Structure formats: structure tokens, C-alpha cells
């Protein structure tokens, strides 16, 4: 399959090859199933709905990094960039901050600045959990006010 990690795990006699169960940390069943489906079919399925697709792309990107699947990682990064919208901008902004993804972070910050009313109407303020991100958004807003 497309993962060197799993190719070695199941191909050269590691204990997982013959195990009845394998524990996979940091994921849920739906995301891991989508990961395995991608490895077997080269098709990326992010599910239905704006919020679910963004969450699944985040989860799959983490799995792709963990298990060394660079093409899937790139596809997930692209999907995340395309999924920035009023409901997803703040959660994606916080995720980008946590992951250290400068490109997605900048895109989300710009989206929030350009579409503040829509983001707020979709619960963006209530979604904020990270104080550092909140401070950054406040700084952006103050910069915009200063420009006026």
C-alpha cells in the first residue's frame, strides 16, 4: 500500500501482522477507516458537511504525518484551505495555530478579518478556546481599526 510504515508492519513479521486487534492512537474509527480506504484506493473521502469535512481533513492530515504518507498530507492541506468558511474559520485557525501551519493560519486570519460579521453570526466568537489565538485576532482587529 501507499504507506511504508504499514508495509513494514504487515509485511515483515512484526507482531501486528498476526494480531487480532491493533491499537491506533490519536484517531477515531471513521478517520482511521478513511485513512485505510485512502491507502487502498487512492481516493480521499472526507465525509459530508462542512464541519465534518474540515475535522476529518485535520484528523487524516495528522495520520498522514504520523504514518509517513506525504501525498495524503498534501491532499488534506489542500482540503483544509478550501474548507475555510464562516463556520470553520475559527476552529481551523486554532488547529493551524496548534499544528504550526503558517499558511493555513494566515489564510484563516485573513478570512476572519475580511468576513468578521459572517464568522461572528456563525458562532466564531463562542468557538474560541485558545487565548493566544483570541489575542491574535484582537490584535488583527485593532490593526484594522488603526488603518481606518
Residue 10: predicted pLDDT:
62
Helix axes 131-147, 89-99, angle to 10 degrees: 120
> What's residue 73's pLDDT?
93
Averaged over successive runs of 10 residues, the pLDDT of the chain (148 residues) comes to 64 66 81 89 84 87 90 93 90 88 90 90 84 83 82
Find the Cα–Cα–Cα–Cα dihedral 92, 95, 100, 105, rounded to 10°: 20
User: Where in the chain is CATH 3.30.710?
Assistant: 1-83
Assigned CATH class of 1-83: alpha beta
Q: Which residues of the chain does CATH 1.25.40 include?
A: 84-147
Q: How far is CA 70 from CA 18, 57, 76, 123, 127, in A?
A: 27, 14, 10, 33, 30
Which residues, in sequence order, are CB contacts of 14 under 8 Å at separation 6+?
Answer: 8
Would you state the pLDDT for residue 11? 63
Class of CATH domain 84-147 = mainly alpha
Write the burial class of residue 64 (CB in 10 Å: 0-12 exposed, 13-18 middle, 19+ buried). Answer: buried
Amino acid at each position: 500500500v501507499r504507506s511504508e510504515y504499514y508495509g513494514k508492519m504487515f509485511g515483515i513479521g512484526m507482531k501486528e501482522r498476526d494480531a487480532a486487534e491493533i491499537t491506533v492512537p490519536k484517531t477515531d474509527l471513521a478517520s482511521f477507516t478513511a485513512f485505510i480506504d485512502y491507502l487502498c484506493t487512492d481516493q480521499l473521502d472526507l465525509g459530508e458537511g462542512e464541519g465534518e469535512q474540515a475535522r476529518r481533513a485535520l484528523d487524516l492530515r495528522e495520520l498522514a504525518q504520523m504514518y509517513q504518507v506525504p501525498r495524503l498530507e498534501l491532499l488534506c492541506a489542500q482540503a483544509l484551505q478550501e474548507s475555510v468558511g464562516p463556520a470553520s474559520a475559527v476552529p481551523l485557525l486554532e488547529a493551524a495555530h496548534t499544528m504550526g501551519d503558517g499558511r493555513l493560519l494566515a489564510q484563516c486570519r485573513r478570512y476572519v478579518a475580511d468576513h468578521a460579521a459572517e464568522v461572528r453570526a456563525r458562532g466564531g466568537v463562542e468557538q474560541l478556546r485558545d487565548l493566544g489565538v483570541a489575542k491574535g485576532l484582537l490584535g488583527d482587529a485593532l490593526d484594522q481599526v488603526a488603518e481606518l
